């Protein structure tokens, strides 16, 4: 695969999607369709990838984050023209084969791409179209064959009534010998119902030059499905969701009921973990074994160790080690690391902080920009005061400290090893190891005050 490359067509507007995003960024299982295609290229082991951008180019490039080469198609004149816009890239990889893919067909998987390539090489083809048989071929280009031999592809809008009956359709993914593709690209003419430069015409042009063309039929017809509007996008979501849930079940993940459960394609879940209703797992999330996730939890780009509980919890871009219990009603915001056997209880928010092993933050607490050691105990209602209106500051709490209920820790501040803070204190100065920090007025007692008041109240009544 070393000399092989991929060109992903992603310049179209996708008007029918009615979205401010370009179509290829519309999501299936909370991952942009273009992301699915990029993952498939990666899985197929294709080392060089170029994305053709146009509509919503800034958004697409922001998504690509400089990780892929791009080519620009200023005006959308058709798929053939889109590939031509990547001419410079194509010329850099002329020795190998190039696979052209559509950014709006997320299910084209790495294995199908690889198998089609093997077929392409065995046959010595100049072009191999990946095709599939669909019961409802409407809208797709049809594969035209003569005595079994592929002779061309005709678009829905250009097809005769007879051709419209053909159920073998073009997936929009093709393997080409790169040099052969380059040769015919400039010969494509917009002589068709849509006045566009069709990449599909390359098949006929190559045949005219005496080159070989063929079709590789995908085993699973679903791999070719694309989305042009919200309804088809929803249909793709439904198909992908079922398939992914089944894969997790095959791996030993337990679902009592899958209501409201959405799991992204890149999520990994260990055996014997139970996923409860209302749980959304997205991005590059990894969950260990024997966890209980949910009900009603949302986890994004987070690693969760074995035997953790995340009950009604949201966690983003963080690491949670083994045997941690969290929830209910907890938010773990980005950049947290929670060490083993920590306990985060109800109505707690943790942000950009480390929580040491065995530490308990049991109720109604905000821990932000903090480094908390192991076996620390937080009383109810503790707040790290991390923001002075201009800058954020860090709080350090050493091992075995005990933070009294309703303590404010005004950062930057340090509570030493094994130190205490008294309930209700607003701690602004460091508390040394083993000391007690207390910051509140002495209590005074007014004897008989309440009794006198009570008598007054009773008289009035």
Residue 321 annotated to the active site: no
How many residues belong to the site for Ca ion (CB under 5 A)? 2
Q: Report in angstroms how near the CB of residue 199 gets to Ca ion at its nearest.
A: 12
Q: Would you say 68 is a known binding-site residue?
A: no
Q: Would you say 23 is a known binding-site residue?
A: yes
Q: Report in angstroms how near the CB of residue 85 gets to Ca ion at its nearest.
A: 18
Judged by CB, which is closer to Ca ion: 226, or 270? 226
Judged by CB, which is closer to ligand UD1: 173, or 279? 173
Judged by CB, which is closer to ligand UD1: 81, or 282? 81
Binds Ca ion by CB under 5 A, chosen from 141, 226, 288, 368: 226
Q: Which residue is nearest to ligand UD1 (CB)?
A: 141
Long-range contacts of 57-64 (CB under 8 A, 24+ apart): 57/11, 57/22, 59/21, 59/22, 59/25, 60/10, 60/22, 60/24, 60/25, 60/34, 63/25, 63/32, 63/34, 63/35
Question: How crowded is residue 423: how many other Cβ atoms within 10 Å of its Cβ?
Answer: 16
The torsion region of residue 215 among left (phi > 0), alpha (psi -120 to 50) and beta comes to: beta
Judged by CB, which is closer to ligand UD1: 103, or 416? 103
Q: Residue 359: which of 411, 305, 397, 387 has the closest Cα?
A: 397
Q: Output the CA–CA distances (angstroms, integers) from residue 106 to 16, 102, 110, 309, 368, in the order listed.
A: 17, 8, 11, 33, 39
From the list ligand UD1, Ca ion, none, pick the one residue 331 interacts with, judged by a Cβ distance below 5 to 8 Å according to partner type: none
Alpha-carbon span 224 to 327, nearest angstrom: 41
Judged by CB, which is closer to Ca ion: 33, or 49? 33
Residue of 48, 81, 117, 363 with catalytic role:
363
Question: How crowded is residue 97: how many other Cβ atoms within 10 Å of its Cβ?
Answer: 25
Diameter over CA atoms, the chain: 111
Q: Would you say 423 is a known binding-site residue?
A: yes
Binding part of the chain for Ca ion, among 26-34, 219-227, 248-256, 325-333 by CB under 5 A, reads: 219-227
Q: Report in angstroms how near the CB of residue 326 gets to ligand UD1 at its nearest.
A: 40
3-state secondary structure 308-334: CEECCEEEECCEECCCCEECCCEEECC
Q: Report in angstroms how near the CB of residue 125 gets to Ca ion at its nearest.
A: 24
Evaluated on CA atoms 350, 355, 361, 367, the torsion sign reads: negative
Q: Report in angstroms how near the CB of residue 250 gets to ligand UD1 at its nearest.
A: 29
Residue 22 within binding range of Ca ion, rule CB under 5 A:
no
Evaluated on CA atoms 343, 348, 349, 351, the torsion sign reads: negative
Residues at the interface with ligand UD1 (CB under 6 A): 9-12, 24, 52, 54, 73, 76-79, 81-82, 102-105, 140-141, 153, 155, 169-172, 198-200, 226
Binding part of the chain for Ca ion, among 77-85, 193-201, 225-233, 253-261 by CB under 5 A, reads: 225-233
In sequence order, what are the residues at sequence separation of 6 or more whose Cβ sits closer than 8 angstroms to the Cβ of residue 36? Answer: 28, 106, 107, 265
Query: Per the annotation, where are the binding residues?
Result: 9-12, 23, 73, 78-79, 104, 141, 155, 170, 228, 333, 351, 366, 377, 386-387, 423, 440
Active site residues: 363
Query: Per the annotation, where are the binding residues for Mg(2+)?
Result: 104, 228
Positions that interact with Ca ion (CB under 5 A): 104, 226
């Amino acid at each position: 695969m070393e000399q092989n490359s991929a060109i992903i067509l992603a310049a179209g507007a996708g008007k029918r999607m009615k979205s401010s995003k370009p179509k290829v960024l519309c999501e299936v299982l909370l991952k942009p369709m273009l992301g699915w295609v990029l993952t498939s290229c990666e899985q197929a082991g294709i080392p060089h990838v170029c994305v053709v951008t146009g509509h919503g180019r800034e958004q697409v490039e922001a998504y690509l984050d400089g990780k892929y080469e791009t080519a620009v198609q200023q005006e959308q004149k058709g798929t053939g023209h889109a590939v031509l816009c990547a001419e410079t890239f194509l010329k850099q990889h002329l020795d190998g084969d190039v696979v052209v893919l559509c950014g709006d067909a997320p299910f084209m998987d790495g294995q199908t791409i690889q198998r089609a390539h093997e077929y392409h090489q065995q046959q010595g083809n100049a072009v191999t179209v990946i095709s599939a048989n669909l019961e409802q071929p409407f809208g797709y280009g049809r594969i035209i064959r003569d005595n079994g031999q592929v002779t061309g592809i005709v678009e829905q809008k250009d097809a005769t009534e007879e051709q419209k009956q053909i159920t073998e359709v073009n997936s929009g993914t093709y393997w080409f010998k790169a040099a052969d593709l380059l040769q015919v690209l400039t010969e494509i003419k917009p002589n068709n119902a849509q006045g566009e430069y069709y990449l599909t015409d390359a098949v006929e042009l190559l045949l005219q030059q005496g080159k070989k063309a063929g079709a590789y039929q995908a085993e699973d017809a679903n791999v070719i499905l694309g989305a042009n509007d919200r309804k088809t996008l929803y249909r793709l979501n439904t198909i992908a969701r079922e398939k992914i849930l089944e894969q997790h079940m095959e791996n030993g993940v337990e679902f009592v009921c899958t209501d409201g459960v959405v799991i992204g394609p890149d999520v990994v879940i260990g055996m014997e973990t139970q996923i409860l209703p209302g749980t959304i797992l997205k991005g590059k999330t990894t969950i260990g074994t024997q966890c209980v996730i949910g009900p009603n939890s949302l986890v994004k780009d987070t690693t969760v160790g074995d035997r953790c509980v995340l009950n009604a919890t949201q966690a983003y871009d963080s690491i949670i080690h083994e045997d941690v219990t969290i929830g209910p009603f907890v938010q773990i915001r980005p950049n947290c690391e929670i060490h083993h056997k920590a306990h985060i209880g109800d109505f707690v928010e943790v942000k950009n902080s480390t929580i040491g092993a065995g530490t308990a933050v049991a109720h109604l607490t905000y821990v932000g920009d903090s480094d908390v050691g192991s076996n620390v105990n937080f009383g109810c209602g503790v707040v790290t005061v991390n923001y002075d209106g201009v800058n954020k500051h860090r709080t350090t709490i050493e091992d075995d400290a005990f933070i009294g209920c309703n303590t404010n820790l005004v950062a930057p501040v340090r509570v030493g090893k094994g130190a205490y803070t008294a309930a209700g204190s607003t701690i602004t100065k460091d508390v040394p190891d083993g000391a007690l920090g207390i910051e509140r007025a002495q209590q005074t007692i007014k004897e008989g005050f309440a009794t006198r008041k009570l008598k007054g109240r009773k008289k009035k009544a």
